Each structure stands twice: as structure tokens, then as C-alpha cells.
């Protein structure tokens, strides 16, 4: 076993002997037992037997699975979870142990990349989590936390209302004072993580509804502005629009667009995710664009899978397929178009800038976008690109995983910070806001913070001739 496979955090607990209610654990709605249901899954899209049968238990997934690397537990590996899914499909009851192992998965999809048999673990996990979310009654505290997350994060207007007080608390030092007391952490480690992840806030940046192409128009693209991205990283959206315009795109960013549903889909909130998807499809159909460009990896991976999410909806199935086919990550469309805007150094003249690129899991593993961001970074004069060791291992962000499971997420973040520091990079680049917040915090804990920017921010600076270091 490699060094990284030595368990250091506590693995999920086994099935309890006391009742689940007594231990504050999930139960089937209305029942009082550590056995949650018989059989485990209902008839609405249980894990596909055909997809389960694709797994041949070769073990290639083990070294890339974050939770297996933390705990060394078979049931916290992809093939172990597939065994649990198979047992449920064959009629085994849904136990607390099974739910805990399913919940512990980050959904990073590194196993999908590693699998030589083409096992679609992403589809299996999505089907399983929808079953768990529908059938399991979680403890009151966890229900409250999830209700807070999903009544806030997918709604830009609500995040905007939070933004003002949060910025004041940061600027006055009140937020730092509260963090130093440790009071929030004593009440709820999950809420402490939510508090600590908030990035430093400047003035709010809004992307125009239409940004015209510079020079000859080469494409008309729609742009997802997102939720957290829109309200907390508006500068990244503005940079994205400028880069696309500089490369000859008319950029349409409809004001009425809402959440793409990624956070909901990733935790099994199927109906909620479907409703967000329908609204977004409606919005971009009305916008009349050639492609939809996304600068957040988790959002892009979900939008490319609307074809599966809405497959049972006769009013949207064909529209979802057409929509998914038009979704591209920012780096994909830029490479497809080919660069026409000149690139300039982003460091003082004559100085080499060492950059490390962090692969967001939902870009590398879910969307298979690996070479394009690196190609774009290498086009910038004076940039030397360094690869991060164990790049396939998740940083621990994984949507809201770092909030729901702070301990393993923190350890994965610290491991990622360590591998990044080995590169000697002066600047970090990624394509996902969650990764940026997670790793920035881990580097702060390590006492060696490094500037960290979105791919769009670096490209924008290069096109405009601005220095970042």
C-alpha cells in the first residue's frame, strides 16, 4: 500500500447495534430501525443491473479513490460501493452502513477515468443517491443543514442578500474575530466550514447581458453565470466574457438565468435538479445562441448530462439532448475556435512564471477535458507549466462535500496543498470555484499561501497585457 493509502481519518461506522433513531442516524420515513428499507431500492430508476455487471473487480479504481486512500476500507472504494448497490438491487435491505458508505463518496469520478472496463460509476452513483435521498429520513440536525444549503446556494438573489453583511463582517474584522473564538465550530463543524470558505469580497461585478465580439464575429455563445460564481466570483465571469469577446464571440448572458441544478443532482435531489434544468433550457433556447459556455466544472458536467436527467420527460427529453450537445467548457470552445487575440506576458518582462494547473474533478474525470486548459496556458509567453503530483486525486471540495463531511475533506485538502507545494509554483490555476476556495484554505493552514486564479482570469490578463505577479 502506498503512503497515501494509510488511513488517517476515522472511516465510516459499521451498522449500529442500537436503533438508528437513538443514535441520531438516518431512517426510512416513519420507521424506527437501523434497517432502513426492504428492499433497498424502489422501482424508479434503481442502479442499473447492466451497469453494475460491467464491474469486474480488477481494482484499478482503488489507487485513485480519495476515500479508499484515506481509510483503506473496501466498502469505501468504487467496487465496494458497487457491491453494496448490487446487493440492494438483489433485494438486500438498505442499512445505515450502506447509506454511510454512499454518503462518504465524493463523486469525483476518478474511478471512471481509471476503469479499463468502462464502468459508468457516475450514472450508478446518481441513481443510488436519488434513491437514498427519496427513501431515507435523516437526523434533524442534518436535515436542517441540508435545508440551509439548498435554500441558499442555488439561488443567486439570496446569495446576493448575504453578500453585503458578509463583506461588512470581513472588512470590519468581525468575521475574523468570530472565527478565532472557535464558537461556531463548537456548535457545528459544518457551519464553521461554511463560514471559513467565504472568499474575500470586493465590489460586486455584474456581467453585461450582451458583450459584443471584438473584430470579426466567429460565434454567438450563451454564458452560464452560475450561483456562487455569479455572486462571489463575478470578476471571473467578467474575465470569461472578455476572453470570449476577444476571440470573436458575441457573448449572451441572460439576466433571468438561474441555477443549473448541479449541487442538487450531485446529492440526489432529483426533482429539484430537474426543475432547475428545465428552466435553464428554456432560458438559453430563448437566447438563440450557438453554444453554451460554462466556466465552472461542476456545472458543466451536469449540464452535459441533462440528456439523462430529463430522459423521462416527454416535453424536455429531446430538448435536453440538443441542449447538452451544445454545452462546452470555456477551454474547449477556445481551443476549438483557435486563438486570434494576441497573448502577452503576465510577469515582468524577461521573468519566467512557474504555474501549476489543478484539474477540477468534474472537468478532468466527468468531462474528459484535460489537454485544452494546458494548451491555453502554454500559449502565454513566459509561462512554465508544472504538473501536480497525484493530480487525479480530489481536493475534497466536491460540491458541498466539504461542508457535509468536513473532516475527510480537510485531510484531502491538506494532501492536495502538499502536492501543490512540491511543484514550486508561484501561481495556481483552476477552472472551478469550489476547488479554489478549498485549496486556498488548505494552503493557508499550511502557512504557505500561493496566488490562485481561474483559467479565465489568467487568459484575460494575458490578452489585456496586465501583470498578475
Count of structural domains, the chain: 4
Same domain, 127 and 149: no
In-domain check, residue 202: no
- Neighbouring residues of 86: CB distance < 8 A, sequence distance ≥ 6: 47, 52
Per-residue pLDDT tens for 65-117? 999 999 999 999 999 999 999 999 999 999 999 999 999 999 999 999 999 99
Per-residue pLDDT tens for 127-169? 999 999 999 999 998 899 899 899 999 999 998 988 888 888 8
Can you tell me the distance from the alpha carbon of 467 to that of 462, in angstroms, rounded to the nearest whole number?
A: 8
Q: Mark 247-261 as b/e (b = at least 16 C-beta within 10 Å).
A: bbbbbbbbeebbbbb
Can you tell me the distance from the alpha carbon of 372 to that of 334, in angstroms, rounded to the nearest whole number?
A: 8
In-domain check, residue 181: yes
Same domain, 50 and 112: yes
The CATH number given to whatever domain includes residue 332 is 3.40.50
In-domain check, residue 203: no
Give me the chain's average pLDDT, please: 89
Same domain, 174 and 50: no
- pLDDT of 31 reads 43
In-domain check, residue 469: no
- pLDDT of 25 reads 44
In-domain check, residue 346: no
- pLDDT of 98 reads 94
Same domain, 222 and 303: yes
Same domain, 422 and 392: yes
* Residue 248: φ, ψ to 5°: 90, 25
Against a cut of 0.85, is the pTM above it?
yes
Cα angle 219-460-364, degrees, rounded to a multiple of 5? 75
Per-residue pLDDT tens for 368-383? 999 999 999 999 999 9
- pLDDT of 62 reads 95
Q: Considering 279, 308, 337, which residue would you say is the last residue of a domain?
A: 337
Same domain, 192 and 283: no
For residue 301, the enclosing domain spans 210-337
Instruction: Determine how many CB atoms are found less than 10 A away from the CB of residue 325.
Output: 12
In-domain check, residue 348: no
Same domain, 125 and 186: no
The CATH number given to whatever domain includes residue 67 is 1.10.1060
- Strand pairing report for 219-223 and 136-137: unpaired
Same domain, 371 and 254: no
How confident is the chain (469 residues) per 10-residue block, as mean pLDDT? 42 40 42 57 94 94 95 96 96 93 96 95 96 92 90 91 83 73 67 72 90 96 95 95 98 95 94 97 95 96 96 97 97 96 90 94 96 97 95 92 93 96 95 92 93 96 91
How many CA atoms lie within 13 Å of 349's alpha carbon, on the beta-carbon side? 1
- pLDDT of 203 reads 85
The CATH number given to whatever domain includes residue 376 is 3.40.50.10700
Same domain, 309 and 413: no
- pLDDT of 376 reads 97
Indicate the helix (H) or strand (E) that contains 349.
none
Amino acid at each position: 500500500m502506498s503512503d497515501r493509502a494509510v488511513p488517517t481519518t476515522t472511516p465510516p461506522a459499521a451498522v449500529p447495534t442500537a436503533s438508528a433513531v437513538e443514535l441520531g442516524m438516518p431512517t426510512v420515513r416513519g420507521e424506527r430501525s437501523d434497517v432502513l428499507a426492504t428492499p433497498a431500492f424502489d422501482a424508479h430508476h434503481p442502479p442499473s443491473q447492466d451497469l453494475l455487471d460491467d464491474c469486474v473487480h480488477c481494482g484499478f479504481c482503488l489507487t485513485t479513490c480519495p476515500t479508499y486512500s484515506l481509510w483503506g476500507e473496501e466498502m469505501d472504494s468504487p467496487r465496494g460501493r458497487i457491491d453494496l448497490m448490487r446487493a440492494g438491487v438483489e433485494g438486500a435491505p438498505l442499512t445505515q452502513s450502506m447509506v454511510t458508505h454512499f454518503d462518504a463518496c465524493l463523486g469525483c469520478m476518478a474511478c471512471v477515468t481509471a476503469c479499463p472496463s468502462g464502468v459508468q460509476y457516475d450514472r450508478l452513483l446518481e441513481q443510488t443517491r436519488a434513491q437514498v435521498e427519496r427513501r431515507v429520513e435523516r437526523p434533524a440536525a442534518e436535515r436542517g443543514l441540508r435545508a440551509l444549503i439548498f435554500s441558499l446556494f442555488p439561488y443567486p438573489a439570496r446569495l446576493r442578500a448575504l453578500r453585503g453583511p458578509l463583506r461588512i463582517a470581513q472588512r470590519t474584522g468581525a468575521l475574523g474575530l468570530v472565527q478565532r473564538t472557535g464558537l461556531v465550530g463548537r456548535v457545528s463543524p459544518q457551519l464553521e466550514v461554511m463560514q471559513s470558505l467565504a472568499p474575500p469580497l470586493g465590489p460586486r461585478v455584474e456581467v453585461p447581458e450582451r458583450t459584443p465580439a471584438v473584430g470579426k464575429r466567429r460565434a454567438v455563445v450563451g454564458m452560464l453565470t452560475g450561483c456562487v460564481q455569479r455572486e462571489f466570483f463575478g470578476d471571473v465571469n467578467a474575465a470569461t466574457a472578455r476572453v470570449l469577446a476577444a476571440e470573436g464571440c458575441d457573448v449572451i448572458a441572460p439576466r433571468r438565468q438561474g441555477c443549473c441544478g448541479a449541487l442538487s443532482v450531485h446529492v440526489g435531489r432529483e426533482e429539484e435538479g430537474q426543475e432547475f434544468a428545465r428552466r435553464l433550457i428554456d432560458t438559453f433556447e430563448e437566447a438563440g445562441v450557438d453554444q453554451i459556455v460554462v466556466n465552472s466544472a461542476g456545472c458543466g458536467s451536469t449540464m452535459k448530462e441533462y440528456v439523462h436527467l430529463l430522459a423521462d420527460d416527454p416535453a424536455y427529453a429531446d430538448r435536453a439532448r440538443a441542449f447538452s450537445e451544445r454545452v462546452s467548457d470555456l477551454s474547449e470552445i477556445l481551443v476549438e475556435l483557435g486563438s486570434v487575440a494576441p497573448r502577452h506576458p503576465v510577469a515582468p518582462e524577461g521573468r519566467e512564471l512557474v504555474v501549476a494547473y489543478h484539474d477540477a474533478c468534474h472537468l478532468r474525470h466527468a468531462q474528459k477535458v484535460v489537454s485544452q486548459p494546458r494548451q491555453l496556458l502554454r500559449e502565454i509567453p513566459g509561462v512554465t507549466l508544472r504538473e501536480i503530483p497525484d493530480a487525479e486525486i480530489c481536493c475534497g471540495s466536491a460540491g458541498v462535500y466539504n461542508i457535509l463531511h468536513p473532516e475527510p475533506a480537510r485531510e484531502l485538502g491538506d494532501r492536495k496543498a502538499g502536492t501543490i507545494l512540491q511543484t514550486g509554483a508561484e501561481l495556481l490555476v483552476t477552472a472551478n470555484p469550489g476547488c479554489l476556495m478549498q485549496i486556498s484554505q488548505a494552503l493557508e493552514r499550511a502557512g504557505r499561501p500561493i496566488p490562485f486564479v481561474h483559467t479565465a482570469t489568467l487568459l484575460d490578463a494575458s490578452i489585456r497585457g496586465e501583470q498578475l505577479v
